[in-house]
Amino acid sequence: MMRANGAICRPSIKTAFTRMGTTDYTLSMTLKLYAHPFSSYCQKALIAFEENGTPFELAMLETGSAASAECSRLWPLNRFPVLEDGGRVVPEATIIIEYLATHYPGPVSLIPTDLDAALNVRLLDRFFDNYVMTPQGNIVFESLRPADKRDPYGVEQAQALLDKAYLWLDARMADRVWASGEAFSLADCAAAPALLYADWTYPIPPSLTNVHAYRTRLLQRPSYALVLDRARPYRHFFPLGAPTDRD
């Protein structure tokens, strides 16, 4: 379903759930996600929606749009994605995915029920956000500064952190399919856009074959392939120039 403004929408539905095999109750599915398809953190949340086919309405964030104004009202820190669920406001991609797992669980469990396994997944989620996505973003944002305000040393620090992160991840992925093992998880939702944009920004060395193989698996994951296809019309937004011959 498509709205006139181009926002990708899915219909609100009434979904019946059963708890403990005894009590039936009905939950109104009215999820509205304020996001932009090209944003890395928005892609992270969108992967989780697609993994479980969770219905939602996409409030497309564009400069000067009503959706952008409403998003700023809901979350004055002016960061996105932001999820609205019947008046409840849920910011931050990781928390949105946790919220979906708690209140709208689907067939794909992105956060393990085992507590130790869940801690490992959350650690890796932090790894991709803090040690891949953050330095990648720092390099890009640095390029947008006026020439007399730039910080070459800060760029060197970001590149050094990415070097360490790439090496660590290559060793880790030597015997794993997904970040936490055999099951796709929250950590992989974080990894997909992080490694996409990191490689565009500061290329992963060819010698790190395990990272490249993992990145390829992420690109081929149906949920991310769909999210990435929706972002293609906006590739010209990438300040450093998006590749024209690959993802």
pLDDT tens figures, 48-97: 999 999 999 999 999 999 999 999 999 999 999 999 999 999 999 999 99
**pLDDT confidence band for 215 (50 / 70 / 90):** very high
Q: Which of 133, 234, 247, 114 is nearest to 190 (CA)?
A: 133
Contact status, residue 44 vs residue 190, Cβ threshold 8 Å:
yes
Same fold: 13-103 with 115-228? no
- pLDDT over 70 at 156, yes or no: yes
Residues 129-134, mean pLDDT to the nearest whole number: 98
DSSP class of residue 114? S
- pLDDT over 90 at 10, yes or no: no
- pLDDT over 60 at 5, yes or no: no
Q: What is the pTM of this model?
A: 0.89
Domain boundaries, given as residue ranges, for the chain: 13-103, 115-228
Q: Which of 61, 56, 57, 55 is nearest to 38 (CA)?
A: 61
CA distances to 59, 77, 206 from 200, in Å: 27, 28, 13
- pLDDT over 90 at 2, yes or no: no
Rounded Cα distance, 34 and 15, in Å: 22
> How high is the pLDDT of residue 29?
59
Does the 115-228 domain belong in CATH 1.20.1050.10? yes
* Beta bridge mates, 35: 60
- pLDDT over 50 at 172, yes or no: yes
CATH of 13-103, one of 3.40.718.10, 3.90.1150.10, 3.30.565.10, 3.40.30.10: 3.40.30.10
> How high is the pLDDT of residue 30?
85
- pLDDT over 50 at 7, yes or no: no
Segment 224-247, tens digit of pLDDT:
999 999 999 999 999 999 999 999
Query: What's the mean per-residue pLDDT of the chain?
Result: 90
**pLDDT confidence band for 99 (50 / 70 / 90):** very high
b/e map of 116-137 (b: 16 or more CB within 10 Å)?
eebebbbebbebbbebbbebbb
- pLDDT over 90 at 28, yes or no: no
Give the 3-state DSSP-derived string for 216-243, with helices as H, strands as E and coil as C: HHHHHCHHHHHHHHHHHHHHHHCCCCCC
**pLDDT confidence band for 15 (50 / 70 / 90):** very low
b/e map of 138-153 (b: 16 or more CB within 10 Å)?
bbbebeeeeeeeeeee
Rounded Cα distance, 161 and 171, in Å: 16
